[in-house]
Chain A
Amino acid sequence: MAAQPERGLVWLLRQLSSRAAADAAIGDVLDELADRTQAGRAPRWPRVWVNTQTIKLALPFVAAMVPRLFRAGWQTLRDAARSLRRSPAYSALIIALLTVGITAGTITYSVVDAVVLRPLAIDRGDRLVSVSTRDDKFQPRITADGFRAIRDQVTSFDGVAKVSIESFSIVTVAGVSDQISVLSASSDLFGMLRFGSGLGRLWTVDDEERGDIDVAVLSYRYWMDHFHADPGVLGQTVAKGAYTYRIIGVLGADTDIPGLDYSTAEIWLPMHADASFAIAGVLRPGVSTAQVAEDIQRVLATPDWRPTVTSYLERNVTRIRGWMLLALGAAGLIILIACVNVANIMLTRSFRRGQELAIRSSLGASRWQIALSVMAEGLILSTIASAGALIISIWGIAAAKVAVTTYMPGTFRASTIALDRRVLLAAIAAAIATGVCSALAPAIQASRASVSGVLKDAGPTVTGGARSWRSALLIGEVASVSVLLVISWLFVVSLIRVVNIDLGIDRDHLLAVSSNMEFNGTVDEVRARLESVPGVTGVAMSVGSLPIIGRAYGGAWPDTSVTRADASEPPVKLQRYRVTANYFDVAGLRFRRGGTWRTETALNSPSVVLDERAATMLFAAENPIGKQVRVTDPAGVFAVVGIVPYVYTSGPEEVVKPSAYFAAPATAARKFATMFVRVSPPPEEMVPVLKAAIAPFAPPGKREYVHIADEAVRRITAIRRFNGGLMSAFGALAMVIGAAGIYSVIAALVTQQRREIGVRVALGATPQRIYRSVLSLAGRHIVVGLIIGLPLAWWISRGFAAHLFQVTPADPSVYLGVTALVGAVGLLAVLIPARRASKTDPMITLRS
């Protein structure tokens, strides 16, 4: 069989002309092909020739169509704009609803995109991984030789480097001491990250092999900020601890990558052979993290241990991803609710215009044209709304950035939150989709309007099909609102429970001095100075980290094993605190039983204070006071002297081991400790006072080390609080949009049914009856909406049960609350239309 044109082209040609004409034209092409073949002028590639000829046939049709399409499009838009101008109130309401929806979506998406979704702004950033070098017991498992083996033998890496970052390191650069971040790495890191020098040079493998590792490289930003881009910095020195380094180069300007913690380091130094390190690597394309972990285990020959290989981006966003996507989902739901609402309002409007559309239809407008004109209205409204939304979003995104950096300090890539091209494109796409989606149902319905039916009647009536559309949309809206309300309610309840939980210590008027560094004097001197400050009512010391404070500002708690001295049960692991005798009093830990040890007896007869959970684990229901326990660290047998409440060391949402408190060993020369300081004036006022008081003992550097306990809790619960606030804002927004939707639809319904209502009143219906019938109409929709929405909400909220706190997705109180709220607000929204309906004057409506 001779070459045939592609089916797609045939279809196109048939659409452009008629089926018969297109087929005849293609037949002519085949005729010509046959003639040419006969005459010995056959084309080299007959199939290509046939397709080219078919395209040539189509082109003139397309060219003839374009101006026609433009003209028709312009006319449709002009008519739509005219019709919108005629009803400014409706148009304004729709624009407002769409603006709210698109703004909420744009702002949320820009935050989520910047923090979670966008790939790392670095070449091969999606394949950047970190490899754990220590096991569960924090024992180092990869030595320097092990690293070399990995570098040389693991083929699933495209590049691998040793790296370690030391924050708040005291360094003297060109004679000026500063507290900065120092990164130590093998030279492989530069190649792996594809970082080059902006000035001078970077150290190389050769330097490392020769042992020339007394060199330093400055970060570009540090060079700009502290040396104002002075090239004379080369050759100057960097002193850190006992080592001195010579500056040989500055990193290039393109190495300042947001979200990459290596970029935050100000000084880069070669890694010493004996230093502890982490491993960073770039995977080869197509290699999984599990595969590379397996390869490393094989090369290291450690059958008992396999390293954890984590994607760099994954590691940074894991903690916040769930929250962020939840917010994005909620914003999506807001857009959906706004869309459904707008669709319903447009539907109502298209019925009011029933006569106009019927006349157009009778004058020859096709169903398609009528539907298109309604769609054009949606498009115009959504275009105006998206323009407005974008303007508001510019401000909103700036506000969101401030909110995220203020309320969730340390959020990954928060500094990059901005209205960029990705967000802009997504917002515009969402706006167009919103406009088209909301106009879809009204367009279909308007195109189905019966000409004779509408023209016969003096006024617009509501057809059965119209009613079901409107009912479906109203029910859909109530369902979506209830889904969002349930979700936000669950999160608000979680937030309330997190905030109100008893953490064990009394945070009121409590401050902490926690420097994570040695004081410039002994701990006793610092303590005595603090106690002498007016307003300070108590100072307690802990040799290690303080609860809550350590979680918020950096700290760690060692474990100890404790067993009953009189029984041979397996030991229990407890968190070990070594504190002064007044610690419990100052921290506000009220003794359930017994009391603290007396300072003078602590050394002679060792005592321990346990928390309730530890006491129950060890002694069950027995009275533990006076009982003895055997402890590994500090080693010995201790008498239980008191029982205090369990303390949520790491904040309300992390359950940690119960605690055992031992007396802090007295060492006059001790220079490191943390302290709780109980004060009577407001703690905010006491922070500068305490800082001034201990300024002479302050550790070198500029770091903040006087903290307010309440602030620490706020810091720990920052994401929860931010999300709770966001979800309640979304919930409130959904409720307002929902109420506006219910009001506008029922009001329009009452207006459209005024003749019917008039007839009913004329036939003897009382105003109360009419009032009740409108209320029950709204009530029916709300009930059905809730019946659909609540189970859906339960099903959706099961997906993020892990993010809830002390409340389950099936908590009946939440569903009862949402039902009551939606019912109350929904009925409130229809009070005015119901009143208007009940006051219908039959004579006026029947005459009109």
Chain B
Amino acid sequence: MPVRPRPSPLGEFELLVLLATMSLGDTAYPVSIAADIARRTGRQASRTSVLITLERLEDKDLVTSRYGDPTPQRGGRAKRYFRAKPRGVQAVRDALERIETMTAGLTGVLKEK
């Protein structure tokens, strides 16, 4: 069985998107993800950039998407829900580990205001 190469390390925004996707669970779609990031980080993420990032993560095989039922509010259009794949969860873990490794010994500096 062919071994898939490890995905390239996540960028900062990719990490945020992936974390929001994981925390929203079954209700993660671009609008809710953008809102979640804005709510929790105060960073205004545009729906378009979230969608493009999700597409990129899907290309990297870190997330998967499915279509929900059409709703009248959306002009009869379905929602596209995203979910992190185990590879995606692993990528988040790797990214957090890298950050932890790099921040070791910097607690004092980082806590200074």
Contact = CB atoms under 8 A, between A and B. Distances in A.
A27 B48 contact: no
B75 interface: yes
Interface string B48-63: 1001100000000000
Interface in B67-82: 67, 70-71, 73-75, 77-80
Contacts of B74: 26-28, 30-31
A32 interface: yes
Interface residues of A, number: 21
A763 interface: no
A4 B75 CA distance: 8
Given A31-B73, A34-B73, A23 B78 contact: yes
Contacts of A21: 80
Contacts of B48: 53, 56-57, 60
A24 B51 CA distance: 10
A28 B68 CA distance: 12
A600 B29 CA distance: 120
Nearest to A2: B75
Interface in A1-54: 1-2, 4, 20-21, 23-32, 34-35, 53
A24 B73 contact: no
Contact of A28 (B30, B52, B67, B70): B30
A27 B48 CA distance: 12
Contact of B75 (A20, A27, A53, A56): A27
A98 to B, nearest CB: 44
Contacts of B30: 25, 28
A23 B31 contact: no
Nearest to B71: A27
B78 to A, nearest CB: 6
B75 A30 contact: yes
B67 A24 contact: yes
Contacts of A53: 47-48
Contacts of B78: 20, 23-24, 27
Interface in B17-61: 29-31, 35, 46-48, 51-52
Of the candidates B35, B51, B75, the one having the most CB atoms from chain A within 10 angstroms of its own CB is: B75
Contacts, number: 59
Nearest to A64: B52
Contact of A26 (B29, B35, B67, B75): B75
B79 A27 contact: yes
A581 B102 CA distance: 125
Contact of B51 (A20, A23, A35, A57): A57
B57 to A, nearest CB: 14
A33 to B, nearest CB: 10
A57 B55 CA distance: 12
A25 B78 CA distance: 9
A32 B51 contact: no
Contact of A24 (B46, B52, B79): B79
Of the candidates A31, A35, A53, the one having the most CB atoms from chain B within 10 angstroms of its own CB is: A31
Given A30-B74, A30-B75, A60-B52, A20 B80 contact: yes
Given A24-B67, A25-B30, A32 B47 contact: yes
Of the candidates B31, B46, B74, the one having the most CB atoms from chain A within 10 angstroms of its own CB is: B74
A29 B73 contact: no
A31 B48 CA distance: 13
Nearest to A60: B52
Nearest to B78: A24
Interface in A55-95: 56-57, 60
A30 B73 contact: yes
Interface in A354-405: none
B53 to A, nearest CB: 10
A28 B47 contact: yes
Contacts of A1: 75
A84 B104 CA distance: 63
Nearest to B34: A32
Of the candidates B30, B70, B71, B78, the one having the most CB atoms from chain A within 10 angstroms of its own CB is: B30
List the 7 closest pairs (A to B, CB-CB), nearest first.
A27-B77, A24-B80, A27-B74, A23-B77, A60-B52, A31-B31, A30-B74
Given A24-B80, A28-B51, 7 more contacts: A20-B67, A20-B80, A26-B75, A26-B77, A27-B70, A27-B71, A28-B79
28 contacts: A1-B75, A20-B67, A20-B80, A23-B77, A24-B29, A24-B77, A24-B79, A26-B74, A26-B75, A26-B77, A27-B70, A27-B71, A27-B77, A27-B78, A28-B31, A28-B51, A28-B80, A30-B73, A30-B75, A30-B77, A31-B79, A35-B35, A53-B47, A53-B48, A56-B48, A57-B48, A60-B48, A60-B52
Interface of B: 29-31, 35, 46-48, 51-52, 67, 70-71, 73-75, 77-80
